[in-house]
A and B are shown apart, each in its own frame.
Chain A
Amino acid sequence: MNDGGKPVNDAFNPDRAEKILVDSITSVFADMAFIDVERKAGTQSIEEPAKCAPSFENERRTAIDVLSPLSCRIELKINKPLRDRVIETLFGDSIDQEQKKAAEDPLLEMLNIIAGSFLSSYFGSGTNIQLELPRYLYFGEVSPGQSVSSILMDAEGEPLEAIISSVRYRY
């Protein structure tokens, strides 16, 4: 049995993690979708959740499970208008039927890159990083762990939320 990495513990620094995660999200959205993302002023970590949570119209939730060096889940929540903007930027007007079928893929790939960038920066070069494949969360699926960070961001007027949850995986 593989117990995976250690769950998020006291050694995990939420403030540092949030800063690095924000940088990773900002960089990937800018490089891949040419969308400026910034942390919403006044938003706090999960210990002091924002008083006014944004509404996510037709939300799209993607998640990637981290198996090593620690056991956690990184989740990204956006709305349909932002999802459509990402797809339009990547595929332009040339989108055909085949690409439409694959149009849900960009968000997964972006989360995959965000997670890799975040973990590499947080734990440093040389750390063994193991990621599951990213996937969508449907029908109110609840993350199995406890949220340790929740970051509200603004993507050129559209809301975006990133969540880190501590999870103990068993296989």
Chain B
Amino acid sequence: MRHYHAILIVDDSPTSRMIIQRCVEMSGITADAFVFAEDGLDALSTISDDRSIDLIFSDINMPKMDGQTFIKLMRSKPETSSIPVVITSSIADGSVESEMKKLGISAVIKKPVSPEKILKVLEANS
């Protein structure tokens, strides 16, 4: 059973945030807290304030700051560079995976998210 201190879900869609949280819970993964951000800018501020975050689910196509920029900036800071990130996107195809690999991320889930997809990607990247 996987347990995390705090899981951050970054997505501009409230529906998507809710579905990802629900799928994480249904997958058997537990967390002391779920934290949410509406875009990359919001997420950067959140991970600076909350040092207990130890897993991030992030969308790519978001207003204000997209997922790629958020991850690049997050990775550039020593205190947040090692937090595992799972990308969730409606256009998670080969080009997205290739772009993400450049950022050191191989955990990509194509929406709609499901508990099975979450478990599979976390097992493959543990």
Contacts and interface: CB of A to CB of B under 8 A. Distances in A.
A31 B95 contact: no
Contacts of B114: 31
B45 to A, nearest CB: 21
Contacts of B16: 109
A20 interface: no
B126 interface: no
A102 B19 CA distance: 13
A113 B111 contact: yes
B15 A102 contact: yes
Given A115-B90, A133-B61, A105 B14 contact: yes
Contacts of A129: 91, 93, 95
A108 B111 CA distance: 13
Interface string B46-84: 000000000000000101000000000000000000000
Nearest to A127: B95
Residue with the highest number of chain A CB atoms closer than 10 Å, among B15, B94, B114 = B15
A117 to B, nearest CB: 7
Interface residues of B, number: 21
Interface string A14-39: 00000000000000100110000000
Contacts of B103: none
Interface residues of A, number: 26
B93 A126 contact: yes
A45 to B, nearest CB: 25
Given A112-B90, A113-B90, A128 B95 contact: yes
B112 A116 contact: no
Contact of A112 (B13, B18, B94, B95): B13
Given A102-B14, A109-B15, A127-B94, 20 more contacts: A28-B112, A31-B114, A32-B19, A91-B18, A105-B15, A106-B15, A109-B13, A112-B90, A116-B89, A116-B111, A117-B90, A120-B93, A125-B93, A125-B95, A126-B93, A127-B93, A128-B95, A129-B95, A133-B61, A133-B63
Interface of B: 12-16, 18-19, 61, 63, 89-95, 98, 110-112, 114
Interface of A: 28, 31-32, 90-91, 99, 102, 105-106, 108-109, 112-117, 119-120, 125-129, 131, 133
